[in-house]
Structure 1
Amino acid sequence: MRLSTRIALGAALLVPLLVVAAGLLLLPLVNADLHRRQDSRLNDRAAAVLPSARALLAADSKGRPKAEQNQQRKVMDAALDAGVRVAASDGTLLLVAGAQPDDPQLLPTTPGQAVTLRQNAEDLRVLAVNVNSGAATGTLWVLAPADEPSEELRAVRRRVLLVALVAAPLSGLVAFGLAERATLPLRRLGRRAAALDPRTGHAVFAHARTGTAEVDELSGAIALLLSRYEEQAGRTAQALDTARAFSSSASHELRTPLMSLRTNLDVLAAHPDLPADERAEVVGELQQDHARMLDLLSALSTLARGDLVEVSAFGPVDLAELVAAAVAEARRRHPEAVFQVELPSETRVFGWEAGLRILLANLLGNAAVHGTGSPAGSPAGSPADSSTGSAPAAVDVRLRVEGGTARLTVDDRGPGIPPEERAAVFHRFHRRRDSPGSGLGLTLVAQQAALHRGSVVAADRPDGRGCRLEVRLPLLRPDTPTVQLPAVRDWLNGDERH
């Protein structure tokens, strides 16, 4: 059933009920008004009769029959159509005329108060008045039929019922017309929503305000739903692209180590009597290929996490504390390397804690691996890369606050990076020809720096031979504790528009 029809039926039922309810409340008020009007007429009639009633009472007390008869006629003339009853203080009836009660004992004795006497023949409205004529006293009763108010009340009831019967169809028609007009914007909105193609996005659902609050709210809710749908569809598409890129990169990069594994396994299978030293060499190559595949899959997985992370994962983080923890972990992983650390007491940024740990682990791992002496001009690679220098790596880690930025520098004393290759070291799979690593270590550093609206650059060590990697991240601002993720995040596909 349409909403306008429901409203019309509701009005057609509700309005007559309201009319009847109003009539039920009105009838006691009308009854009271009618009684007051009748009591007013009784008081006027009593006031007109009272002088003659005093004279009647005085004539009776003085024993003057002719004067008494004369006053009786005057009382009846003044009473007109009202019933009259006059009695002396000793109970002697001096006059009885007009409508009278079936039982005179029911007559009220309280003066000035009108009451209704209920009886079989006719209900009477009675007013008692004290009569005082010198030494003689008595009571005057003025009576009138109480049926007249009842007739008027019945007329009011009939009119109320008539109004209720007429109001039912009229109110239904009026309510239907108003409801049709009121729901017109809602029907238009429904037709627009029914014809909407969700693939076109929420921008096509531009809403012009109708002035009807409910319709505007519903339109805004639909537009918000569409925007969330579009956002979720974008996330799903991005996740699918990331999965495809992961599969493509893994299959491409794993081809070489898998072929090497197959070759070495075939050698072991074909030559069970291989000398011990040659067997050990083949097993060593198998272990290296296995480690390289693990590093590659782990790095690709971490890169995919960075491509899919949401703003809800970000929060206030103490960068100094994370650096201290990362240095402790690097010392455990690279016990041969020497780390010098300079940190402030606290440096708070708004970041993804897991992502910052990835950034620090790869920075320190890269410096520990490539911070030893090696042939000049060799580029740095990933944390899994190795060099041939014999001297232990020396790594200097410093975190400083400069204005609204946290500046982290990691210096090593390795061969450094040629200027022409400093941008390329942050690209996917960039590594030295003899490096067994995945070539994704510094790519992960660049990805996390971009996610945090920061930057990372490679340069020469300021005080001598070596490499410096410098990361800048914006500090936490209490007035804007949030972060805006880059519009393009496609590090697995090698998109460099970050």
Structure 2
Amino acid sequence: MRLSTRIGLAVGLTVPLLVLASGWLLLRLVNHDLRSAEDDHLRARATAVAPEARALLRATANNRPKAADTRERRLFSAALDVGVRVTGPDATFSGGPQPDASVPLPEGTKGPVTVRDGAESWRALSRTITTPGGPGTLWVFSPNAADQAQLRLVRRRVAVTTLLAVPLSGLLAWAVATGATGPLRRLGRRTAGLDPRTSTARLSDEPSGVTEVDELAATLRTVLARYDEQAARTAEALDTARSFSSAAAHELRTPLMSMGTNLDILAAHPDLPEPDRTEVLADLRTEHARLLNLLVMLRELGRGDLVEAEAFKAVDVSETADAAVAEARRRAPDARITLAAEPGPTVHGWEPGLRLLLDNLLANALAHGRDATGRATVTVGVRRAGDQVVVTVDDAGPGVPAEGRARIFERFRRGPASSGSGLGLTLVAQQAALHGGSVTVGDGPSGGGARFEVRLPSTGGPLPAHRDWLIDTAGTNRSQSFPKDAP
């Protein structure tokens, strides 16, 4: 059902009900006013005829028939348009319109009352009259026929008005609603051809002059924009899933084949000598650990590709670095790890991603930053530099050759003696780019070892438009080179 039809029906039903309610109230008010006027008229007539009624009862009590006749004529003449009944100790006099004498009259009333005689009714008012011969009662009556006729007339007019209000109010409301919903229909025609799945056309900003319609159009534009955004994110998620499966299949092939070969050796040679058996089992454990590490790293890359802006908040980098250093000390108790962090440097970032960045930098330093004696000495620094927060990780190892620094952050790039997944520094570069920053590698502060430096803006920024680190092998080197003496 169209909105204009609904409005027309609603108004067409509501207006007659309002007319009936108003008519009922009008009838009550008219009835009250007519009765009040009639009661006032009875009181005036009762006041006017009371002296004549008293004189009539006095003449009757004194046995003066001629005087009584005169007083009776005067009484009826004073009554005019009302009925009068005078009841005394010895006689009753009545004249004018009134109920039959057999109709009982209420006693002890102080105001006008309604007396019914079959289908007819009267308003009646009584007055007590005191005479030497005893008390008497004066009754004044006024028929309700005229009042009832007026009430019936009002009732008929209310009924006619109600019957006319049904079609007229419905048609008028339908016409007004049809005109009022015109902008809404035009908006419907403008949006009917929009299909986000097949077309990039979107709703143009054309004010209609109706606030509600313009607000609805703005809401539709927002919904379509969010649809486009979510569709893009869904496409990125699908690409990430394909990339994950492709990368996992490619990188897991070699360790799985190696594990399969070792398992075949164990199965084919149950009596394998203990030294050889121990060597095969050690290889299996190594490959198993490599597989687990690779899957964990791939999962973390996928999380970074799919993280939303709502997950970003204010993060204290010094606190995050302190937690990462404590965990690294627990895992490598033989290493010497120190932290030099200024209090309170904060960035707008994703806390799990920043912790992942620090964990991987520390893991890389512990794995490749040992000196000639095999001891690892790592220094972590956190400081402010203008509107940036700078994180440095220094080690005492052989350092990174200048020719290899440009590709060290690429996916699956491993050193000659590395047993890792080749994704640790890729995760570092991903998180730096995700936070609008950069990561570089250079010589250590004393000329030996390596220094990894991450620069993050304090205020953050929009998320990168391209975040497919699982498949982008050519573009993962998104670092910049800074001089060793950069502030």
TM over 0.5, shorter chain = yes
CA distance in 1, matches of 2:241, 2:384: 38
| Other structure's SS at 1:103 match | coil
Q: Return the letter of the residue paired with 2:449.
A: G
Indicate the SS of the match to 1:399. Answer: strand
1:410 is displaced (CA, Å) by: 1.2
Query: How many angstroms apart in 2 are the aligned matches of 1:11 and 1:213?
Result: 23
User: 2:469 maps to what in 1?
Assistant: 491
Match of 1:462 in 2: 445
TM-score, with structure 1 as normaliser: 0.78
CA RMSD of aligned residues (A): 4.3
Q: Is the 8 A contact 2:61 2:90 kept in 1?
A: no
What residue in structure 2 maps to residue 23 of structure 1? Answer: 23
Judge conservation of contact 1:372–1:392 (CA < 8 Å) in 2: yes
Q: Secondary structure of the equivalent of 1:15?
A: helix
Q: 1:35 deviation in Å?
A: 1.6
Q: Deviations over 1:55-114 (max 9, x none)?
A: 5455546655434333332332333342222344x3433x32223432368345658622
2:135 is equivalent to residue 157 of structure 1 = no
Give me the whole-angstrom Cα distance separating, in 2, the residues matched to 1:333 and 1:490: 31
1:195 matched residue in structure 2: 193
Counterparts of 2:144 and 2:272, CA distance in 1: 134
Cα distance, 1:281 vs structure 2: 9.3
- How far apart in 2 are the matches of 1:109 and 1:260? 121
Instruction: Provide structure 1 residue ranges, at least 5 long, that are not aligned to the other structure.
Output: 374-388
Shift of 1:445: 0.9
Q: Report the identity percentage.
A: 54
How far apart in 2 are the matches of 1:397 and 1:325? 12
The 3 A distance-change label for structure 1 pair 38 and 418 is same
SS at match of 1:424: coil
- After TM superposition, the structure 1 stretch with the greater mean CA deviation from structure 2, 61-70 or 153-162, is 61-70
Q: Which residue of 1 aligns with 2:435?
A: 452
- Counterparts of 1:193 and 1:186, CA distance in 2: 11
Count of aligned pairs between the two proteins: 476
- 2: CA distance, partners of 1:134 / 1:268: 145
Q: Which moved more, 1:28-37 or 1:248-257?
A: 248-257
Matches within 5 A, 1:279-290: none
Q: Distance in 2 between the 1:202 and 1:38 partners?
A: 81
Structure 2 CA distance for aligned equivalents of residues 3 and 310 of structure 1? 40
SS in 2 for 1:463: coil
Tell me which residue corresponds to 1:304: 302
Look up the SS of the partner of 1:198 in the other structure.
Answer: coil
Residue 125 of structure 1: how far off its partner (Å): 2.1
Distance 2:271 2:109 in 1: 141
Shift of 1:447: 1.1
Q: Which residue of 2 aligns with 1:92?
A: 91
One-letter code aligned to 1:444: L
Shift in CA distance, 297/48, structure 1 to aligned 2, threshold 3 Å: closer
Is 1:167 aligned with 2:165?
yes
Partners in 2 of 1:38 and 1:65 — Cα distance? 34
1:122 aligns with 2:133: no
Secondary structure of the corresponding residue to residue 408 of structure 2 = helix
Q: How does 1:130-141 map to 2 (within 5 A)?
A: 130-131=128-129, 138-141=136-139
Name the CA shift for 1:91/1:231 in 2 (closer, same or farther; >3 Å). farther
How far does the alpha carbon of each residue in 1:319-364 deviate from its partner, in whole angstroms, 9 at most, with x for none? 4444344334444555664333334576655543432332122212
- Listed one character per residue, the Cα deviations across residues 378-424 of structure 1 (whole Å, up to 9, x for unaligned) are xxxxxxxxxxx555332222334556654322112233335565443
Give 2:184's match in structure 1, choosing from 158, 179, 186.
186
Counterpart amino acid of residue 14 in structure 1? T
Q: Deviations over 1:113-141 (max 9, x none)?
A: 22221123732222223557899975432
> In structure 2, how many angstroms separate the alpha carbons of the residues matched to 1:101 and 1:261?
121
